[in-house]
Structure 1
Amino acid sequence: MADTSLIIIAEFETTAATRKPFLEACLEDSIRSVTDEAGCSCFDVLTTSDEPDTVILHEVYDSPAAFEAHQATPHFKAFSNAVNTLKVRTVSVRKTTRNATA
């Protein structure tokens, strides 16, 4: 049976001044997504030591419809507002599917 999961890999670029408030917005979106949305099974907020102003989100949804539902939630709207208010640059948002697991 085909895996219908939708995996989002989103990368953002912050600044020294916006990093902390943006990470707080990401954390709230992450917690609310996994806690409140039946269709979200994973939401990781990732950073790297060599690029401290880069934030990567790894999100796993049961289906594309579950991701669409996520985008209609109040916590996603608050996250989106934070991106705009803080002027965080969206580097990329990739919608991927799982082809194999080990």
Structure 2
Amino acid sequence: MSLIVLTECLAAPGQEDRLRTALEAMIEPSLDEPGCLAYRIYTDPNRPASMVVIEEWASPRALEKHYTTPHFRHAKQVLELVLAEPMTLRRPMTAPSS
């Protein structure tokens, strides 16, 4: 069974583009990681500063390894500069089997 991770981000005023760029830069390297099944970014059309990342991982181990990658560490540094508040990470849960 896979894990779903939902992360909510709110950009500081004027930082929406930097937030979007930082999150989009995570897509390709994350999808290249073993165990990454999906990595999607959504922007609230009514509130462009609000973005959500939905990730699906094959296992807790794959997710933990993701947190140690250079692209994750870089994004974390950028997010610390552009977020209006700490991001909200929803606890991983089991995805339904197909």
Fold similarity call, TM over 0.5: yes
Please give the residue correspondences for 1:14-25 in structure 2 after superposition, counting only pairs within 5 Å.
Answer: 14-25=11-22
User: How far is the alpha carbon of 1:87 from its aligned partner?
Assistant: 3.6
Q: Deviation string for 1:10-56 (max 9, x for gaps)?
A: 00111341110111110111111002x01101100111211211010
For 2:84 and 2:68, how far apart are their aligned partners in 1?
Answer: 21
For 1:34 and 1:10, how far apart are their aligned partners in 2?
Answer: 16
Q: Do 1:22 and 1:86's aligned partners in 2 also have CA atoms closer than 8 Å?
A: yes
SS at match of 1:90: coil
Unaligned runs of 5+ in 1: none
Moved over 4 A (4+): none
For 2:31 and 2:97, how far apart are their aligned partners in 1?
Answer: 23
Are positions 1:8 and 2:8 aligned together? no
Q: Paired residues, what number?
A: 97
For 2:23 and 2:13, how far apart are their aligned partners in 1?
Answer: 16
1:84 to 80, 83, 97: 80
Correspondence for 1:66: 62
Structure number with higher strand proportion: 2
Unaligned runs of 5+ in 2: none
Structure 1 residues 12 and 87: CA distance shift in structure 2, 3 A: closer
CA RMSD of aligned residues (A): 1.5
User: How far is the alpha carbon of 1:96 from its aligned partner?
Assistant: 1.9
Give the fraction of aligned pairs with identical amino acids, expressed as a percent. 24
TM-score normalised by structure 1 residue count: 0.86
TM-score normalised by structure 2 residue count: 0.89
For 2:35 and 2:72, how far apart are their aligned partners in 1?
Answer: 14
